[in-house]
Amino acid sequence: MEVTTKHAKEQKQGVLKRIAGPVVTAVNLDAHMYDVVKVGKEELMGEVIKIQGESVIIQVYEDTSGIRPGEPVSNTGLSLAVELGPGLLTSIYDGIQRPLSVLVDKMGNFIERGVTAPGLSHDKKWTFKPLVKSGDKVEPGAILGEVQETNIVHKVMLPPNVKPGTVKTIKSGDYTIDEIICVLEDGREYPMIQRWPVRVPRPVKEKMNPTIPLITGQRILDGLFPIAKGGTAAIPGPFGSGKTVTQQQLAKWSDAEIVVYIGCGERGNEMTEVLTEFPHLEDPKSGKPLMERTVLIANTSNMPVAAREASVYTGITIAEYFRDMGYDVSLMADSTSRWAEAMREISSRLEEMPGEEGYPAYLAARLSEFYERAGLVKTLNGARGSVSVIGAVSPPGGDFSEPVTQNTLRIVKVFWALDAKLSQRRHFPAINWLNSYSLYLEALHDYYDKEVSPEWNTIRSWAMEILQKEAELQEIVQLVGSDALPESEQVTIEVARMIREIFLQQNAYDAVDTFCDMKKQYAMMKAIKTYAELSYSAQLVGVSPAQINAVKAKNELAQIKFIKDYTPELAKIMKQMDDEFNTLRSAA
């Protein structure tokens, strides 16, 4: 990221007075809050986070070992900002938008201190096609033209913080992001690039109520605990419970057009897995690499802690930029716990009063600020766009009562609770249906009625009741065995098993089962409910639970999720089931 550009104010020199890890103190420095500064002889990038009398306290985004009091500190006069324009997609950045591919070419696998690189290529030419003409009036955020970037059309916009104007000249052709493509009648000139401070949310015309689900193709998410486009969700879970695979499935299959993936403070080996696998994942919509509609931000746990905090803001700002074009954006933050740990470390260096478990007292406020930037919006140019934020949480030892999980739960509206016991039983996705919830069910009610089936909401409620009933019955079963239960409840236990094993379990690595559309989900759940109704009615006329469990068609039902053209096969199974129950009732 270029911070010392012609846009910077005249630099004011200060002097280093104190160094405490990533937090340093300078004196004689003329600075404002959140100014970007250059620290020491190596000009390490930092940001002003506190001003106390004559002392300016700075968090440094690079390793501070070896610097000493007396070294110079200079202020760029700029806020921490990201470069926005063609070239973002397919990029892999660190927490402060330095492209890792460029840094690797410069210095190998280990990033040296004080090295900067622009977030976008300033030499590459892009073919610009105007959508406005001379004499047109343009408002802030107006779409000036288009650039074909990968298979996504990149819409070049007027910055959102400028005055309206009238187009004097605009020209098509091949340009770099710095070349002027549009001149207004008052003399203002605009290139394709924008710079935006990461801590400032990009403005919108209106925030709307989310009423459309983000379809993920994952049955437990779409069927039981849906998230709306523009919604917020948390995936807390212990190590090995499947957070990364779940987030990869969401990135691959959710019907968002753009994916922003933030690896915030995760272990190097986990981030390596993401960086090596994502470029090879195929986008099922286009058949091209998934990276063509993805921006990756990699900030591993061995990188400086201060950059973790910046990575979250960098990611959400890039997501808002694509939202302003009218796209649905899905943002994955993995994991917000590591971001909170970085806040805790910086807070302790600042000698602030600690809150619960040493986290700063403003932990909840910072989490809220981040998740509040999600939403379904009407953009300044009148388009409809959304940012859906899905944050993974890594509670120590899987303890959901710890502060980061609890504060996140107060903010998000969807909670997908990963369970280590389910993953040990090889039940994937290992999302615990008893602990999870979604607060979007009522808002999405009409969508499901219209687009899936008028019965869908009733069937979903029925399935949840069965699963909750099973949890209550399991306590009795463990004490006295299932044979001691009343016959109707023995049937309930079997129906709950079918919901768990046929509907909720899903194979991410099977070519067909990896994605399940809503029509198929409805057909599968309807078939299980039909079996339940036939079982209860057969039990009432004297058919034993053992005979009901022996119905062969029930076992055939499990194969439906692996069949692409499932409709004729399902019809055949349902007819066979009907015939078998008719025979049982006749014999009773």
**Model confidence pLDDT, tens digit, residues 326-368:** 999 999 998 899 899 989 999 998 888 999 999 999 999 999 9
Q: DSSP class of residue 229? A: T
Of the two residues 111 and 26, the one the predictor is more confident about is 26
State what percent of residues in the chain have pLDDT above 90. Answer: 73
* 513 within 8 A of 435, measured Cβ to Cβ: no
The stretch 375-390 carries a mean pLDDT of 96
What pLDDT is recorded for position 10? 46
Q: Is the dihedral angle over the CA atoms 49, 51, 57, 58 positive or is it negative?
A: positive
What pLDDT is recorded for position 244? 77
The stretch 514-521 carries a mean pLDDT of 94
Residue 4 scores a pLDDT above 90: no
What pLDDT is recorded for position 12? 58
The stretch 555-577 carries a mean pLDDT of 94
* 149 within 8 A of 87, measured Cβ to Cβ: yes
The stretch 175-192 carries a mean pLDDT of 96
Of the two residues 273 and 224, the one the predictor is more confident about is 224
**Model confidence pLDDT, tens digit, residues 226-256:** 999 999 999 998 877 888 788 878 988 888 9
Of the two residues 536 and 240, the one the predictor is more confident about is 536
Residue 482 scores a pLDDT above 80: no
The reply to whether omega before 335 is within 30° of 0 (cis) is: yes
The stretch 566-574 carries a mean pLDDT of 95
* 150 within 8 A of 90, measured Cβ to Cβ: yes
CATH of domain 206-439: 3.40.50.300
Residue 286 scores a pLDDT above 90: no
What pLDDT is recorded for position 109? 67
Query: Of 234-238, 248-252, 258-262, 495-499, which range is least confident?
Result: 248-252
Residue 96 scores a pLDDT above 80: yes
Task: Please work out, in degrees rounded to the nearest 5, the angle formed at the alpha carbon of residue 10 by the alpha carbons of 7 and 14.
Answer: 130
The stretch 306-327 carries a mean pLDDT of 93
User: For residue 539, what are its two tokens?
Assistant: 């039990």
Domain 121-192 coded CATH 2.40.30.10? no
| Summary count for the chain: helices (H), strands (E) | 16, 26
* 321 within 8 A of 202, measured Cβ to Cβ: yes
Query: Of 521, 3, 22, whose CA–CA distance to 305 is shortest?
Result: 22
The stretch 275-285 carries a mean pLDDT of 74
What pLDDT is recorded for position 114? 74
The pairing of beta strand 232-236 with beta strand 414-415: parallel
Q: DSSP class of residue 257? A: S
pTM score over 0.85: yes
What pLDDT is recorded for position 397? 81
Fold of 456-587: 1.10.1140
What pLDDT is recorded for position 486? 87
d(CA 319, CA 373): 10
What pLDDT is recorded for position 116? 83
The stretch 136-162 carries a mean pLDDT of 95
Residue 396 scores a pLDDT above 70: yes
The overall average pLDDT reported for the chain is: 90
Fold of 1-78: Elongation Factor Tu (Ef-tu); domain 3 (2.40.30)
- Structure confidence at residue 1 as a pLDDT band (50, 70, 90): very low
For the chain, give the number of residues.
588
Domain ranges of the chain: 1-78, 121-192, 206-439, 456-587
